[in-house]
């Protein structure tokens, strides 16, 4: 048995020991060591409540010397996820170049725990609008920038138009000369309101004419701040766009720290079916951000560690990252968009995963994915588990 395999068995014994000390019986039956995390599959004894194990997340993290432990149920087993301290950066354009094909109007999000690329198709009826939330430093703006870059890289300006609202004036600045932009990046509340008013008018025109092309995706950074400054006028425009925009080929991707209904409005919040949730401060914040209970978002590691939540299902992934130098190299520069007054006169699955063996290792050249096949017997002995906890090189 290798040193790495011995360490995995020791960690599995530690998990079982912590649970036993709190009179919770269960067996670690397998797991996976990925570029981003170490995941153990736990088969609890009959009658064990998931909440009992979730309450021990801090003790479990302490026993393994990990920063956090996320407890999530998957089928008949419970997964315990521990972030790796040496997890690497997922490079957006390296990931993009290794994908054989990216469907239209699809944003590349990053890599899941198994090293599989995760993509979000905004043209899908299940996810026409996305809400990105998380505390400062969770990677919200970086994720949005990666989505913008991947959409621009795989869709021509004739097929896709972009509108960017950036109250901070820094998050979307690298895209100021992107040829897909229909207008300059809006920074002031007045500029943002002008863009939203135009979008509402464009939506009504398209509804009347029965057209949806070219699709227009609007990215808004600091949504809560914009809603507070813009007041009811901004909220009303966002509500109309989020309710009716999909049929007209108009989509919204918004970033905010905490999407509370009191700030951004209950109708706006209800019409964002796709949630991209970074690290949050508490379980209550996780419930508000994800729209579902017990998502475990409060246990995320930050720095691009996200959950994609759609239709009650969650997909954990490491967000793809790109620098300003990479943006300039791969996307180039177009002409600066004209001012607004001058310039503005296919269904499928919402989430796509690339599961071929060559794609599973994308983005982790220094930390190859190591599979751990799981056993199904919850009463397996340590000798039986030894076969399930082998490291596949």
Task: Please write the tens of the pLDDT for every residue from 247-290.
Answer: 999 999 999 998 888 878 787 888 999 999 999 999 899 999 99
Alpha carbon 54 to chain centroid, angstroms: 22
Reduce the DSSP state of residue 146 to 3 states and report it.
helix
Task: Please write the tens of the pLDDT for every residue from 25-83.
Answer: 999 999 888 778 899 999 999 999 999 999 999 999 999 999 999 999 888 889 999 99
Residue 389 has a pLDDT of 55
Better pLDDT: 177 or 331: 177
Give yes or no for a contact between 386 and 144, defined as CB atoms under 8 angstroms apart.
no
Q: Which two tokens stand for residue 256?
A: 């905010």
Tell me what the mean pLDDT of segment 88-109 comes to.
Answer: 93
Which strand (E) or helix (H) includes residue 306? strand 305-310
CATH classification of 3-87+367-388 is 3.40.50.150, yes or no?
no
Q: Say if pTM beats, i.e. exceeds, 0.85.
A: no
- Domain residue extents for the chain: 3-87+367-388, 92-353
Task: Please write the tens of the pLDDT for every residue from 210-248.
Answer: 999 999 999 999 999 999 898 899 999 999 999 999 999
Tell me what the mean pLDDT of segment 80-106 comes to.
Answer: 91
Structure confidence at residue 152 as a pLDDT band (50, 70, 90): very high
Give yes or no for a contact between 278 and 259, defined as CB atoms under 8 angstroms apart.
no
The H-assigned helical ranges of the chain are 3-21, 50-54, 57-64, 92-97, 140-154, 189-209, 223-244, 261-264, 266-270, 283-290, 324-331, 340-343, 357-360, 382-388
Helix count (H) and strand count (E) of the chain? 14, 15
Residue 243 has a pLDDT of 95
Give yes or no for a contact between 168 and 209, defined as CB atoms under 8 angstroms apart.
no
Q: Which two tokens stand for residue 17?
A: 């020991």
Please state, in angstroms and rounded to a whole number, the distance separating the CA atoms of residues 160 and 213: 8
With a CB cutoff of 8 Å and minimum separation 6, the contacts of 60 are 15, 18, 69, 71, 80
Pairing of strands 250-256, 215-220: parallel
Please state, in angstroms and rounded to a whole number, the distance separating the CA atoms of residues 184 and 191: 9
Which string of b and e fits 329-347 if b means at least 16 CB within 10 Å?
A: eebeeeeebeebeeebeee
Q: 92-353 sits in which CATH class?
A: alpha beta
Task: Please write the tens of the pLDDT for every residue from 328-382.
Answer: 888 865 555 555 433 333 334 566 655 432 332 222 333 333 433 333 333 334 4
Percent of the chain with pLDDT over 90: 63
Q: Which two tokens stand for residue 51?
A: 């909440």
Residue 1 has a pLDDT of 67
Phi and psi at 223, nearest 5°, equal -60, -45
């Amino acid at each position: 048995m290798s040193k790495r395999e011995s360490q995995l068995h020791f960690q599995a014994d530690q998990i079982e020991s912590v649970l036993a000390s709190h009179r919770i019986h269960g067996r670690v039956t397998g797991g996976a060591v990925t570029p981003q995390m170490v995941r153990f599959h736990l088969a609890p004894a009959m009658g064990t409540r998931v909440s009992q194990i979730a309450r021990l997340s801090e003790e479990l993290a302490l026993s393994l010397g990990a920063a956090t432990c996320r407890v999530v149920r998957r089928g008949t087993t419970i997964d315990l996820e521990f972030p790796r301290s040496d997890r690497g950066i997922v490079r957006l354009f390296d990931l993009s170049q290794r994908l054989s094909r990216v469907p239209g109007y699809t944003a590349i999000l990053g890599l899941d725990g198994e090293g599989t690329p995760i993509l979000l198709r905004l043209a899908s009826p299940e996810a026409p609008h996305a809400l990105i939330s998380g505390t400062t430093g969770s990677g919200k703006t970086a994720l949005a920038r990666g989505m913008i870059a991947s959409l621009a890289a795989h869709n021509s300006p004739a097929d896709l138009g972009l509108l960017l609202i950036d109250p901070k004036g820094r998050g979307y600045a690298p895209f100021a000369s992107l040829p897909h932009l229909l207008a300059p990046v809006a920074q002031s509340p007045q500029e943002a309101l002008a863009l939203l008013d135009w979008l509402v008018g464009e939506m009504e025109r398209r509804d009347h004419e029965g057209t949806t092309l070219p699709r227009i995706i609007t990215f808004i950074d600091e949504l809560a701040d914009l809603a507070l400054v813009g007041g009811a006028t901004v909220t009303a425009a966002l509500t109309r766009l989020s309710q009716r925009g999909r049929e007209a080929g108009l989509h919204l991707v918004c970033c905010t720290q905490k999407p509370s209904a009191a700030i951004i409005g209950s109708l706006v919040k209800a019409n964002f079916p796709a949630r991209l949730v970074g690290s949050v401060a508490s379980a209550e914040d996780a419930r508000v951000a994800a729209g579902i209970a017990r998502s475990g978002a409060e246990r995320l590691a930050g720095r691009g560690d996200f959950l994609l939540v759609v239709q009650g299902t969650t997909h954990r992934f490491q967000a793809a990252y790109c620098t300003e130098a990479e943006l300039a190299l791969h996307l180039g520069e177009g002409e600066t968009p004209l001012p607004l007054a001058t310039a503005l006169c296919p269904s499928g699955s919402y989430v796509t995963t690339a599961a071929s063996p060559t794609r599973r290792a994308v983005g982790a050249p220094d930390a190859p994915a190591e599979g751990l096949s799981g056993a199904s017997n919850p009463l397996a002995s340590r000798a039986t588990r030894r076969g399930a906890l082998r490291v596949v090189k």
